[in-house]
């Protein structure tokens, strides 16, 4: 994004849009769909307007080199992926759920850095190296875009620590996700960021998880990632909102 004022305006517009959905659709069965449509469309729209034409993204279908990293997601994103799975072909769903359980077993207690060493693939990487839940993938995946595939391969082998990445993807993802979290917090919903695999196991093992989250419970607390403390996050949201 070109300027801090643009970032603030964009954050506030997204926050207002999420707040309106949470206010007017709170009893609507399609609440999650409305929230995620707003998040994903807002992300794609803003990204197109801000992409640097001189630095093309190197990511392509079939490359899953970075799909070994820890994925974090908000509760609506986790519930959306769970719904996506539960409405897919039952045989496919059973196979993927088994893979999520195995991945959760392998990585649940590993830090982000340990996962780089472990190189355990995301359970959603299909046989062609594509993402099996591409339309429902979380903002974290949408916001991770490399500018150099060779650097990704070197990073996966531990030969370099970082890769050149798209600043626009990372910034827009961060603003959209933070606006969603801030609106969830204001409306009394659990607003944390959660480790995807473990949160999904919680969502898939208890049919009432979505209803409990909609009633205000922090249903994914066991998968919560607090790299930044909730108090610090809340204070940042209030500052961004102009409180």
Binding residues (CB under 6 A) for ligand SF4: these are 64, 67, 71, 122, 124-125, 131, 133, 137, 141
Instruction: Give the span between the Cα atoms of 212 and 152, in whole angstroms.
Output: 40
CB of 165 to ligand SF4, least distance (A): 15
CB of 98 to ligand SF4, least distance (A): 16
Residue 240 has, within 13 A of its CA and on its CB side, a CA count of 28
Two tokens, residue 167: 């600043």
Instruction: Identify which of residues 85 and 141 has a Cβ nearer to ligand SF4 in the complex.
Output: 141
Instruction: Identify which of residues 15 and 137 has a Cβ nearer to ligand SF4 in the complex.
Output: 137
Cα dihedral: 28, 30, 34, 39 (round 10)? 120
Instruction: Identify which of residues 13 and 125 has a Cβ nearer to ligand SF4 in the complex.
Output: 125
Return the beta strands (E) in 131-225 as ranges: 194-195
Instruction: Identify which of residues 64 and 156 has a Cβ nearer to ligand SF4 in the complex.
Output: 64
CB of 64 to ligand SF4, least distance (A): 6
Beta-carbon count within 10 A of 132 CB: 20
Instruction: Give the span between the Cα atoms of 147 and 59, in whole angstroms.
Output: 8
CB contact at 8 A, 232 and 240? no
CB of 125 to ligand SF4, least distance (A): 5
CB of 241 to ligand SF4, least distance (A): 29
CB contact at 8 A, 198 and 71? no
Instruction: Identify which of residues 174 and 236 has a Cβ nearer to ligand SF4 in the complex.
Output: 174
């Amino acid at each position: 994004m070109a300027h801090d004022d643009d970032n603030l305006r964009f954050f506030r517009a997204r926050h207002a849009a999420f707040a309106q959905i949470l206010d007017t659709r709170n009893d609507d069965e399609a609440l999650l769909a409305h929230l995620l449509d707003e998040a994903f469309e807002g992300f794609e729209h803003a990204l197109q307007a801000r992409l640097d034409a001189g630095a093309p993204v190197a990511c392509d279908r079939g490359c899953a080199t970075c799909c070994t990293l820890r994925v974090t997601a908000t509760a609506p994103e986790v519930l959306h992926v769970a719904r996506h799975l539960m409405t897919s072909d039952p045989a496919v769903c059973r196979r993927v759920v088994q893979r999520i359980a195995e991945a959760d077993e392998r990585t649940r207690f590993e830090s982000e850095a340990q996962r780089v060493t472990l190189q355990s693939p995301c359970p959603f990487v299909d046989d062609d190296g594509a993402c099996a839940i591409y339309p429902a993938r979380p903002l974290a995946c949408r916001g991770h875009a490399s500018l150099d595939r060779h650097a990704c391969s070197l990073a996966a082998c531990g030969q370099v620590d970082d890769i050149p990445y798209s600043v626009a993807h990372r910034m827009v993802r961060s603003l959209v996700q933070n606006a969603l979290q801030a609106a969830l917090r204001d409306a009394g919903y659990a607003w944390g960021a959660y480790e995807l695999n473990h949160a999904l196991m919680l969502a898939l093992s208890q049919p009432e998880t979505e209803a409990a989250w909609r009633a205000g419970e922090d249903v994914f607390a066991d998968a919560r990632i607090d790299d930044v403390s909730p108090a610090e996050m809340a204070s940042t949201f209030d500052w961004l909102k102009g409180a």
